[in-house]
Amino acid sequence: MAVHARAISPATAKTDYRERPIGVFDSGVGGLTVLHELLVALPHEDYVYLGDTARFPYGERTPQELTRFALELSEELLARGAKLLVVACNAATSAALGALQERMLETTLGVEVLGVVRPEAAQAVAQTRSGRIGLLATPTTVASAAYDRALAAVDAHVTLTAVPCPGLARMIQEGQEFSAAAVELVRAACAPLIAADVDTVILGCTHYPLIGRMLQRMLGPQVRLIASGPALARQVEHALTTRRLRSASEREGEYRFLCTGEVESFSALATRFLQMPLTAVEQVALGALADAEGAIGVG
């Protein structure tokens, strides 16, 4: 699918490229756990976050759908002046990061695209003592084998036990993460990790940090949990520094929100994930949403 970045309006563009915002997108509000880490690690940067809540969840979508969605979301953020793109969604990173990076090479924008998989894999390898690593993720992410490849690229001798968790992201997004059904789902997902005697577990969905304490209890205090937010924040900081894109401002940065679904639904959920004050939310309509075929709401 050919996607062409729209021109940046004078009202959005800034003369100093360093002062443009970092664009972050996710299938819904889970990526706000990543944005939270960015706001803490890089407080002088501006951010624009886009949640594709009209098409949530991504975890059981096809790679082709995810690539199309990711290209559309990236185009919207580029149109709003993003100097760097962060794919704060494991499923979208697994399916579409290569296509997004290739798309940026085709343009003269020179915008770097970072995803959540490689930073988590590198941190997991650094943390493991036994070389036995676990992964909890959506079915699409597990099936992509993106973490298998990322871990092998860092250390070919580690072993991965990957467990798909269908429906868990939706339960968390809907605030049902501590329901009896969710607890049983999580307990069943942890069982093969315990049997494999892993000492490090990658949380392969940005929703999962919200159940971190429950996972820690079930897996045991000796198991280290790797969330995408802190690992990705370090990579973003490195990219900004090496490309001389860090904001020179000493002020507290601004952050704003866009979503493709209902603003009220997004706002009701977002503060819980962001753990910071929420600013106004703007609804946007992307090209592929016009036909609404297959669209799934969050309400």
> What tokens were used for 84?
């760097």
- Candidates 89, 165, 190, 259; catalytic one: 89
288 DSSP assignment: G
| Unique residue bearing structure tokens 């429950």 | 214
Residue 80 identity: R
43 CB neighbour count, 10 Å cutoff: 12
145 CB neighbour count, 10 Å cutoff: 13
Nearest CA to 75 out of 288, 250, 293, 281 is that of: 288
Query: Distances in Å between the alpha carbon of 263 and those of 79, 81, 107, 277?
Result: 21, 22, 32, 16
Q: Is 259 a catalytic residue?
A: no
C-beta separation of 34 from 273 below 8 A: no
Residue 244, Ramachandran bin (φ over 0: left; ψ between -120 and 50: alpha; else beta): left
Give the CA dihedral 216, 219, 222, 228, nearest 10 degrees: -50
Nearest CA to 258 out of 249, 250, 266 is that of: 266
Residues 6+ apart with CB under 8 A from 291: none
- Candidates 165, 190, 205, 259; catalytic one: 205
The catalytic site residues sit at 89, 205
